Amino acid sequence: MNVFRPGNGKVQLSEAQIAARIRELGEQIKHDHAEQEPHLVCVLNGAFIFMADLVRAIDMPVTMDFLAVSSYGNAQQSSGEVELLKDLRMPIAGRQVIIVEDIVDTGITLNYLLRLLEARQPTSLKVAALLSKPSRRKVEVPIHYLGFEIEDAFVYGYGLDRGQFDRNLPFITSQA
Ligand code: IMP
């Protein structure tokens, strides 16, 4: 059985395409943070691979932390409610924070996180998201560093799960 087989849907992002775009995002983040080291906040679970590649594409000192929120469980639709499952270890007051998300779909999760972290008074609060599905948006949210805009399809691979499996695919794919 070959698990590294892409689906036959319209969204297909190869390992090389993802790597090239992340290199660009890393350069942009370095350029925008000449005055103070950025503090990257990874939103678990889906962003763990994006985070790992993104921090290595930023050629300057960075700090990082991790939080976890409830996603869809095994469903492919958002419940509309977000639950904080694991909070940050470090305070973010006075820091230049970048939230690192896998995908912005309805925007509900990111909106929740922006409110939560804004209240802790970071110097700045930005968002890096690998993927965005603008046609699905229910809440407008800013994305400062975006990997790829995609159409409405359920995608998986490169950290994103399909019923908890397929996070280990090195590419992003979708089904027909
Ligand atoms: P939102 O709150 O609707 O924007 O959804 C955000 C979260 O839902 C993401 O961080 C993902 O964990 C999950 N999600 C949304 N769309 C997809 C998808 O196409 N594949 C896998 N997970 C998804």
pLDDT in tens, 99-123: 999 999 999 999 999 999 999 999 9
Please tell me if the CB atom of residue 154 comes closer than 6 angstroms to any atom of ligand 1.
Answer: yes
Residue range 138-153: average pLDDT? 98
Ligand 1 centroid to residue 77 C-alpha, Å? 8
Which of these CATH numbers, 3.40.50.2020, 3.20.20.100, 1.10.10.10, 3.30.750.210, describes 15-29+38-174? Answer: 3.40.50.2020
- State the pairing for strand pair 124-132/145-149: parallel
Give, in order, the Cα–Cα distances in Å from 127 to each of 130, 145, 160: 10, 6, 18
Beta carbon of 62 within 6 Å of any ligand 1 atom: no
Ligand 1 closest atom vs CA 105: 4
Q: Mind listing the pLDDT tens digit for each residue in 49-82?
A: 999 999 999 999 999 999 999 865 556 666 678 9
* Residue 113 backbone dihedrals phi, psi, to 5 degrees: -70, -40
Q: How far is residue 24 from each of residues 17, 18, 53, 137, 148, measured CA to CA in Å? A: 11, 10, 12, 25, 12
**What is the distance in A from the centroid of ligand 1 to the CA of 34?**
32
From residue 125, give the alpha-carbon distance in Å to each of 26, 102, 172: 17, 17, 27
Residues acting as catalytic residues: 105
Q: Which amino acid is at 12?
A: Q
Going from the Cα of 164 to the center of ligand 1, the distance in angstroms, rounded, reads 13
User: How distant is the alpha carbon of residue 103 from its chain centre?
Assistant: 5
Domain locations in the chain as residue ranges: 15-29+38-174
Q: Phi and psi (nearest 5°) for 125?
A: -135, 110
